Amino acid sequence: MKADVTKEDDINAAVKRVVEEAGGLHGMVANAGITNHKAALDFTTEEIERLFSINVCLHSCVFCCLSWEDDGGKGSTCDECY
């Protein structure tokens, strides 16, 4: 399964697919990350937005948590930020 972690629809579809095929989702590791080695003041707005959309965005956590509501609130996430 492929999903673009910067796109809510991709993440939502991936979570739904796992829940449907596996019968539930009880844990998730959010492990996507990118970097750009240069001085902070040299970043463009677009570069900062791309870094945050991949490294900090919580779409995956939100959709997993929503899937756990239907399962009595059982589940956990591990988010690794780079």
- Residue range(s) defining the domain that contains residue 43: 8-79
Cβ–Cβ < 8 Å for 8, 59 = yes
Residue 72 has pLDDT above 70, yes or no: no
Query: What confidence tier does 63 reach under pLDDT thresholds 50, 70, 90?
Result: low
* Within a domain: 52: yes
Query: 58 in a domain, yes or no?
Result: yes
Measured CA to CA, the distance from residue 65 to residue 60 in angstroms comes to: 9
Q: Measure the CA–CA gap between 28 and 11, rounded to whole angstroms.
A: 12
Confidence of residue 24 (pLDDT cuts 50, 70, 90): confident
Examine the pLDDT at 27 and tell me if it is beyond 80: no
Dihedrals phi, psi of 14, to nearest 5 degrees: -65, -45
Query: Is 15 among the domain residues?
Result: yes
Q: Is residue 48 part of a domain?
A: yes
Q: Could you tell me if residue 44 is inside a domain?
A: yes
Examine the pLDDT at 81 and tell me if it is beyond 60: no
As for how many domains the chain has, the answer is 1
